[in-house]
């Protein structure tokens, strides 16, 4: 995967380094990888990166990973467009990743940019990958810039999302309970219906 899919190799290196709680990881240098890392740094997913030349003609990227309270800044990494299956999207049709708790990175005619930057520029393109913030990270810059007050803390936003899901489940349970109560009340109002037996089925007549 490393040579046929350079970006997929970079994402795997970051994922493995975070699983091992390493503070840094290295990857072969390429223009696409550098552009993606620029977006990750601007959006607060990594601390920094720099290019190192091991020997003439051979360059590597040294990536400084980001943690908060011992947890990685990146909770989930998803490769979307792949060499064998390219994925393109208009910016108006690009869905929100985890209701805004995540971010897509696109390769557009104006360069590689984050989902927020692409929406602001009103340009679509190839959906390279998606990242989800770790709990405890600062909220999506779009949320911080778009509100009247300071941006919502990501832990609070994730909790609100979880509460919304629980509320929807409770509403469905209450609806089912209400239907059951109505059925019981209907039976109590018509006791003769409760004791009625189903009429026996007539045997089928065979044709001679």
pLDDT in tens, the chain (208 residues): 446 899 999 999 999 999 999 999 999 999 999 999 999 999 999 999 999 988 888 899 999 999 988 899 999 999 999 999 999 999 999 988 887 788 999 999 999 999 999 999 999 999 999 999 875 554 444 443 333 333 444 445 555 555 555 556 666 665 666 666 766 666 666 655 545 554 555 555 555 4
pLDDT at 96: 86
Q: What is the CATH number of domain 6-152?
A: 3.30.1490.10
pLDDT at 161: 53
Q: DSSP label at 99?
A: G
pLDDT at 138: 47
**Helix 6-19 and helix 31-42: axis angle, to 10°?**
50
pLDDT at 157: 52
pLDDT at 186: 67
Instruction: Say if residue 126 is exposed, middle or buried (CB neighbours under 10 Å; 0-12, 13-18, 19+).
Output: middle
pLDDT at 131: 93
pTM of this prediction?
A: 0.64
pLDDT at 79: 95
pLDDT at 69: 86
Tell me the domain boundaries of the chain. 6-152, 159-188
Nearest to 105 by CA among 43, 15, 28, 12: 43
Q: Cα dihedral angle (4, 10, 13, 16), rounded to 10 degrees?
A: -100
């Amino acid at each position: 995967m490393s040579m046929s899919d350079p970006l997929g190799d970079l994402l795997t290196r970051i994922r493995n380094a975070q699983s091992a709680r390493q503070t840094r990881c290295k990857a072969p240098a390429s223009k696409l990888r550098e552009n993606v890392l620029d977006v990750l740094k601007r959006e607060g997913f990594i601390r920094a990166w720099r290019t190192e030349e091991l020997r003439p003609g051979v360059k590597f990227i040294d990536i400084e990973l980001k943690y908060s309270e011992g947890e990685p800044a990146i909770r989930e990494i998803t490769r979307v467009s792949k060499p064998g299956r390219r994925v393109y999207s208009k910016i108006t049709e690009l869905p929100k990743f985890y209701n805004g708790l995540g971010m897509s990175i696109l390769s557009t005619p104006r360069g590689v940019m984050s989902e927020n930057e692409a929406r602001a520029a009103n340009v679509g393109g190839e959906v390279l990958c998606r990242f989800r913030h770790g709990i405890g990270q600062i909220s999506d810059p779009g949320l911080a810039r778009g509100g009247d007050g300071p941006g919502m803390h990501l832990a609070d936003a994730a909790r609100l999302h979880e509460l919304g899901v629980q509320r929807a489940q409770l509403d469905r349970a209450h609806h089912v309970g209400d239907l059951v109560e109505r059925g019981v009340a209907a039976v109590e109002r018509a006791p003769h219906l409760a004791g009625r037996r189903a009429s026996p089925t007539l045997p089928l007549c065979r044709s001679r």
